[in-house]
Amino acid sequence: MESTSPLISVIIPAFNAELYIQEALESVCSQTYLNLEIIIIDDGSSDRTREIIEQFQDTRILLISRENRGLIATLNEAIEISRGDYIARMDADDICLGTRLDRQVQYLRKHHNIGLLFTGIEYVDENGRELRKKVSAKSRKLEPVELLFGCPVCHPTAMFDMTKLKKSDIQYDKAYCLAEDFELWTRLVNITEIGIINEVLFKYRIHPNSITSKNNEKQRIVASKAIVSNLSYKCKTSMSNHLYAIYNNHLGNESNLKTLVSLVYVGIMLKKLNSEFTYKKFLSKSYYLIRVKFKKRKNKIARA
């Protein structure tokens, strides 16, 4: 990679990450894209996280070690001190494939309308064994209405194009703790187009101590509030209940009847909620949701 290539700031929050930080950091340092600054904030770890990071002899690494302030404050601090034309997210327990940053920059430089880009992922367990893959059928733009049904993107694969965005645009909101990333997507989709590249360029680790594993129900509640605040401009209290019922199917267990009623009600009001919502995508997502729920119901009856 030529030295004139745009600078990418990779921001990595780390808290008690001694089990995985070495592999995570090695995957960033060995990227085919070379013009990086790697900002790691050790958020008050009590284990060997800092010691492991300090063993790396890579001048691109900037390590900040301080008292614990939490994930949102850590992410915002890293964003503020970043200098890159692009900002790439990375977690201390995940793994980047070697061409991840290269491929994302190439895509963003070719698609000038996109300010935020995600990749496909491979889920792995705590030992790095493959569980399954999640990848879009084609590289495409995320439609705002998709966010009503769940989060179709993986936070640590995000790359922000800072030639199109301001740092104030991508600050995480502490009022949405546990779903601060999803809240950011619901905000940014009103500012720029969001892209998804159909390549698996990231290994996302699932383990018992991950935030997602511990806080599913709380995350859904907070995420649904973000939908009401940022995507549904004329939302009454009754509508917020329907939006929650639809989003809650992402990982929850709303009844079939409640889900159907909510889909019909939101569908009728779709364009009044947000003029950017498209009927085609809403109907396709609704069909998929109903089909999945029907199969679950059918399986329960068969087992009985």
Structure tokens at 134: 């999640």
Indicate whether 270 belongs to any domain. yes
pLDDT of 179 above 70: yes
Q: How far is C-alpha 35 from the chain's CA centre? A: 24
Domain match, 147 and 191 both: yes
Indicate whether 195 belongs to any domain. yes
Domain match, 56 and 151 both: yes
Domain match, 83 and 150 both: yes
pLDDT of 299 above 80: no
292 or 166: which leads in pLDDT: 166
pLDDT for 301 equals 40
- Residues linked to residue 171 through DSSP beta bridges, in sequence order: none
128 or 282: which leads in pLDDT: 282
pLDDT for 212 equals 55
pLDDT for 18 equals 97
Domain match, 163 and 237 both: no
pLDDT for 71 equals 97
% of the chain with per-residue pLDDT over 70: 92
CB burial string 257-286: b at 16+ within 10 A, e below: eebbebbebbeebbeebbeebeeebbeebb
pLDDT of 233 above 80: no
82 or 294: which leads in pLDDT: 82
Indicate whether 29 belongs to any domain. yes
pLDDT band at 200 (very low <50, low <70, confident <90, very high): very high
182, 211, 240 - which closes a domain: 211
pLDDT of 302 above 80: no
pLDDT for 165 equals 98
pLDDT of 300 above 80: no
Indicate whether 48 belongs to any domain. yes
Domain match, 203 and 280 both: no
Indicate whether 53 belongs to any domain. yes
pLDDT for 164 equals 97
299 or 187: which leads in pLDDT: 187
Domain of residue 191, CATH code = 3.90.550.10
pLDDT of 211 above 80: no
Q: Is 110 exposed, middle or buried (0-12, 13-18, 19+ CB in 10 A)?
A: exposed
Domain match, 188 and 286 both: no
| Whole-number Å distance between alpha carbons of 200 and 160 | 18
Domain match, 207 and 238 both: no
pLDDT in tens, 147-156: 999 999 999 9
User: In the chain, which ranges are E strands?
Assistant: 8-14, 36-43, 61-66, 86-89, 95-96, 114-124, 130-134, 140-141, 159-161, 193-205
% of the chain with per-residue pLDDT over 90: 82
Max Cα distance, the chain (Å): 65
Q: How many domains does the chain have?
A: 2
Domain match, 86 and 143 both: yes
pLDDT of 209 above 70: no
pLDDT band at 296 (very low <50, low <70, confident <90, very high): low
* CB within 8 Å of 299: residues ≥ 6 apart: none
Q: What domain range is 289 assigned to?
A: 232-303
pLDDT of 304 above 90: no
pLDDT of 47 above 90: yes
* CB within 8 Å of 227: residues ≥ 6 apart: 147, 148, 186, 243, 247
Domain match, 172 and 108 both: yes
Indicate whether 225 belongs to any domain. no
Reported pTM: 0.93
144, 178, 211 - which closes a domain: 211
**φ and ψ of 148, to 5 deg:** -70, -25
Domain match, 85 and 162 both: yes
3-state secondary structure of 129: coil
* CB within 8 Å of 151: residues ≥ 6 apart: 181, 182, 185, 223, 250
| Whole-number Å distance between alpha carbons of 292 and 275 | 28
pLDDT of 213 above 90: no
Domain match, 236 and 93 both: no
pLDDT for 303 equals 33
pLDDT band at 254 (very low <50, low <70, confident <90, very high): confident
Q: How far apart are the first and last CA of the chain?
A: 60
Structure tokens at 295: 């199969």
Indicate whether 251 belongs to any domain. yes
Indicate whether 84 belongs to any domain. yes
209 or 84: which leads in pLDDT: 84
| Whole-number Å distance between alpha carbons of 183 and 206 | 22
CB 115 within 8 A of CB 161: yes
pLDDT for 210 equals 63
Domain match, 45 and 107 both: yes
pLDDT of 123 above 60: yes
3-state secondary structure of 269: coil
Q: Where are the alpha helices (DSSP H) in 210-278?
A: 211-214, 216-230, 237-248, 256-268, 270-273
Instruction: Give DSSP secondary structure letters for 157-186.
Output: G-EEETTT--GGGGPPPGGGTTSHHHHHHH
Distances (CA, A) of 300 to 256, 296, 304: 13, 6, 6
pLDDT of 292 above 90: no
